[in-house]
Amino acid sequence: MSVLRFQGEFNSGCILYGTTKYNSTAKSLEVEHFGNVTLCGFVSAVSVGIAIYCFCTVFYFIYASCIEEANRGSRWLTACLVTAGIFLFLLLVSGCLLRVGLSLFCQGLLLEAGVKSCSDGEKMDWTSPYDGSRFYQNFTSAETSTWVNFFFWLVVLTLLIVQRRQLDGFRPMNGADPEWSTAVAGITSETKPLIPSGPRP
């Protein structure tokens, strides 16, 4: 949601990979070139999509625990593994976009404004309708939340892999296994009557 905030502060423009220039007449900063708006849209969509998925998953398991027994077989684990892998990839891409996009934007800001750090750009005046008073804070908040989500889903993926291996290690016997034939033969011999049935003399 931080991405949406700094888009609104820059008149719906995406400053990822953007450039700035210093207006000596107005003594303020202005955005010379915006980045592709689809970059900010991608980062926002990933964040919102994962949040909605987590919200729906929590409610599903609450419903399943109250109404019916949740089926956590191999198909369920496979679907969760695939989902976690997709989320990890999307979060990795989002984090890299934010990190590199912020670095390039800050490099231009340091050259144009002559400030010592990128966060000092929040203290400078920006040409209307741009408002850069919180751009660095919103940037870092979005990046931090993305990497926190990434490591969270990395832990989830690791736990799912361990659970899948445990499930594969415990495989029920079927008719093709030799142990199944031995077990059936043993049960049959134990259930034979001690006195054979038949016509009595």
pLDDT tens for 23-67 read: 877 788 888 888 888 888 899 899 889 988 888 877 777 776 676
Structural domain boundaries in the chain: 2-171
Low-confidence ranges of the chain (pLDDT < 70): 1-2, 6, 64-65, 67-73, 168-201
Percent over 70 (pLDDT), the chain: 77
pLDDT in tens, 61-81: 777 667 655 455 677 778 888
Q: What is the pTM of this model?
A: 0.74
Contacts 24+ apart (CB under 8 A), 148-157: 149/47, 149/50, 149/87, 149/91, 150/88, 150/91, 150/92, 150/95, 153/84, 153/87, 153/88, 153/91, 154/88, 156/84, 157/81, 157/84, 157/85, 157/88
